[in-house]
């Protein structure tokens, strides 16, 4: 008989304001678990993270750096979000390959759902890629906004404001920070 041991891991949660609205991140000792952004308030960001409980105390260094990187990204700085350590469970080997391929898509570049499926080893699985993108717990870091439909159509996007936010992110990465602002927020 095999006994399964579960090691409790500390969890940290932080909310912060950015040029893309309020963001919230959840992390463990291993890395980032969840990210939400584009919210009107810290309360909205916390609600979007779901039922999370945080340990008390100072955030780990990697999480403070993650917050700084995300704020810089939201201003339009071309930062390397691949530096952020991740603590993400992959449901299937295909999902893991899709996320790995997506993480390699450079700042300001795009790929179609079909091209991403092919790069992940299943050329006819564009719809499956779309489903994986819809469940992405780490938008921006695993840049699902860079995945487009056939003929360059935006496709879908599950962040607040949906396709408006996706378009805003693509404009931000093209250097159009004015087009990337959240309406009603002053320029930084």
- Domains of the chain: which residue ranges? 11-83, 93-178
| Contact indicator for 69, 83 with CB cutoff of 8 Å | yes
CA distances from residue 67 to 23, 119, 130, 143 in whole angstroms, order as listed: 9, 30, 27, 16
CA distances from residue 158 to 102, 116, 162, 186 in whole angstroms, order as listed: 16, 18, 5, 24
Quick check: is 144 catalytic? Answer: yes
Q: Print burial letters for 68-79: b (CB count within 10 Å at least 16), e (below 16).
A: ebbbebbbbeeb
What is the pTM for the complete model shown?
0.84
Handedness of CA 80, 83, 86, 90 (dihedral sign): positive
- Residue with tokens 């340990």, as numbered in its chain: 55
CB-based burial label for 94 (10 Å; 0-12, 13-18, 19+): middle
Angle between helices 93-103 and 126-134 (to 10 degrees): 80
Catalytic residue of the set 49, 129, 144, 172: 144
The fold of 93-178 is Arc Repressor Mutant, subunit A (1.10.10)
pLDDT in tens for each of the 188 residues of the chain?
433 333 446 889 999 999 999 999 999 989 999 999 999 999 999 999 988 876 667 889 999 999 999 999 999 998 999 999 999 877 789 999 999 999 889 899 999 999 999 999 999 999 999 999 988 999 999 999 999 998 889 888 888 889 999 999 999 999 865 544 443 333 33
């Amino acid at each position: 008989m095999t006994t399964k041991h579960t090691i409790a891991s500390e969890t940290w949660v932080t909310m912060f304001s950015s040029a893309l609205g309020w963001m919230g991140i959840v992390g463990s000792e291993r890395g980032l678990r969840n990210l939400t952004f584009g919210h009107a308030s810290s309360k909205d960001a916390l609600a979007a993270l779901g039922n999370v409980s945080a340990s008390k105390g100072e955030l780990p260094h990697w999480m403070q750096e993650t917050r700084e990187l995300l704020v810089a990204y939201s201003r339009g700085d071309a930062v390397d979000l691949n530096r952020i350590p991740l603590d993400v469970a992959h449901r299937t080997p295909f999902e893991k390959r899709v996320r790995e391929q997506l993480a390699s898509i450079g700042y300001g570049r795009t790929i179609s759902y079909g091209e991403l499926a092919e790069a992940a080893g299943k050329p006819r699985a564009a719809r499956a890629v779309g489903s994986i993108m819809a469940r992405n717990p780490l938008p921006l870091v695993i840049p699902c906004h860079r995945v487009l439909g056939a003929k360059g159509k935006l496709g879908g996007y599950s962040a607040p404001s949906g396709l408006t936010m996706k378009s805003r992110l693509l404009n931000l990465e093209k250097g159009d920070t004015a087009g990337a602002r959240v309406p009603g927020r002053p320029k930084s």
